[in-house]
Amino acid sequence: MAALALGLAGTAAIVVPSVTAQANTADLVVDYACTQGIASSGSGTVYLRTNLTVPTTLKVGDPLNVAWNLAYRDATRFGAPTLLPNGGRIYVTGEVNLSDGWQGQLQPVGNVDQAGPMKKGTPLNLPSTISDFAYTTRAGTVTVKPGKLYVDFRPPASEVMVNDDQVEPKINYSAGDWVDVNDRPSGDNDYHLDFHQTNKAGAWAELTFTGTGIEYVAQKDRRGGPVEIWVDNQLSTPPRVDPSKNDDGTLVNDSNVGGQTLWSFTGLEYKQHTITIKNVEDKRTLLDAFRVITGELPGPPPQYRAECTLISAPVAVQVTIGGGAGSSPSPDSSPDTSPDTSASPSGSASPSGSPSASGSPSASATPGGQSPSPSPSPSASRSPNLSATQNYVVAVLPQGSPSPTATRTVTLTATPTVAQVAVTPQGGAQTGEAPERMAASGVLLIGSGGALLVIGMLSGVAMLRRRAAHAGERS
């Protein structure tokens, strides 16, 4: 399809192929050191080696895409922040600062799930890539510079049993007040068939945990005495529980009924808490286990965030955004899009920006709004370098002040492929009318009629003579 330039009042409209240039890219290798949060529960300081990919040349309307590949630089790793039976999820957010032509910031993000279960300090995997993009709405030069990285961790909803003699997390007991009882009968239903026991008033046990709730698990037993419960150094609600009584206050008739949740509390903020139980009287008090509860969290807890700062030399990339739709066509578009602005008295317009067609239709407009008579060249063909699926854009270039009296109408008509009449007189003009036929001569018509009359009379005489001859023979 040839490009067509039409001379209009005060403007020139150029139809050119819409060509998107292949963007060049720059790869930046950037090293980071990460501290705090899940870095502290891992190696302490974690080192990353990253690769940031940024396009260096774009056209207006193309997206500015940034992709950031992440990897550990050495043996240091982020670590699971606590005991996690169901794994968790790592989130990484980057900062890409934009300056000069634009002022702003892109924030590439990515995440990856961690397989569970995990204990505190279990190495965590990173997402391989994070990315973000921005729309380009105008031409210019933008400086792209990588900033900090932030690594977050979100644990899933879970329940974790902490046994009375577990090593990590560990329950602490007041010294000399408790006895570790093991190898209990399975019919008692004690967790791991063991518990700690005290008969001393004032004896205490405590656990520091991270979650949104906590439960105290021990035996229901008629020999038991009241237990006082504190959370974060404050009396809980309810402040006491008595394992020798049922929920309605009646006395328990049984003994050694293990695996019972005697007290429960939920709705805590997800962070580190401490629960303390204390024997109130010189009666039997048991601690079988604590059940730590983590509810569904809306997002990564802030205390798990690790902050990563640049430790390699500062780097930046300049991105050049050239013309696209709505700006002057780029020189790398193959057609010459400079319109012919010379005025013609007849109002004709020639396509000076056609992309290599062997013949382009020319249409001349006559003053007064009369329809033009197009005379396309029969050898015109589609340019081989333009496919049928190619898109086109229209760029309108100002050519001075428009004049309201300089209106021209150009109409393109289809070229007929077959003759409009079957016969054309030799040497005659192609008018589109059938040729006239010659009229028959009057003399010829009269002579033909007379001949027919004579033939008819002679035939009648012969017939009469034959009848007469037949009649004589009979007589």
pLDDT value for 470: 57
CATH of the domain at 114: 2.60.40
The answer to the question of residue 436 being in a domain is no
User: Based on the domain organization, do 151 and 169 belong to the same domain?
Assistant: no
User: Is the sign of the CA dihedral 343, 344, 345, 347 positive or negative?
Assistant: negative
The answer to the question of residue 375 being in a domain is no
User: Based on the domain organization, do 308 and 249 belong to the same domain?
Assistant: no
Quote the CA–CA distance of 272 and 289 in Å, as a whole number.
18
User: Based on the domain organization, do 139 and 172 belong to the same domain?
Assistant: no
User: Based on the domain organization, do 305 and 242 belong to the same domain?
Assistant: no
User: Based on the domain organization, do 151 and 223 belong to the same domain?
Assistant: no
User: Based on the domain organization, do 163 and 288 belong to the same domain?
Assistant: yes
User: Based on the domain organization, do 172 and 71 belong to the same domain?
Assistant: no
Please give the tally of structural domains in the chain. 2
The answer to the question of residue 473 being in a domain is no
What is the per-residue pLDDT across 204-236, written as a single tens digit (0 to 9) for each?
999 999 999 999 999 999 999 999 999 999 999
The answer to the question of residue 309 being in a domain is yes
Binning pLDDT at 50, 70 and 90, where does residue 449 land?
low
| pLDDT over threshold 90, residue 109 | yes
The answer to the question of residue 275 being in a domain is yes
User: Based on the domain organization, do 56 and 72 belong to the same domain?
Assistant: yes
User: Based on the domain organization, do 104 and 38 belong to the same domain?
Assistant: yes
User: Based on the domain organization, do 237 and 206 belong to the same domain?
Assistant: yes
Q: Tell me the mean pLDDT in the region 103-112.
A: 95
Domain that holds residue 255: 159-294
The answer to the question of residue 94 being in a domain is yes
The answer to the question of residue 454 being in a domain is no
Q: What is the CA radius of gyration of the chain?
A: 50
User: Based on the domain organization, do 246 and 143 belong to the same domain?
Assistant: no
Strand pairing class (317-322; 140-154)? antiparallel
The answer to the question of residue 169 being in a domain is yes
pLDDT value for 305: 98
Question: When comparing pLDDT for 419 and 98, which is higher?
Answer: 98
CATH of the domain at 244: 2.60.120.260
What is the per-residue pLDDT across 3-50, written as a single tens digit (0 to 9) for each?
322 222 322 222 223 333 345 899 999 999 999 999 999 999 999 999
User: Based on the domain organization, do 148 and 166 belong to the same domain?
Assistant: no
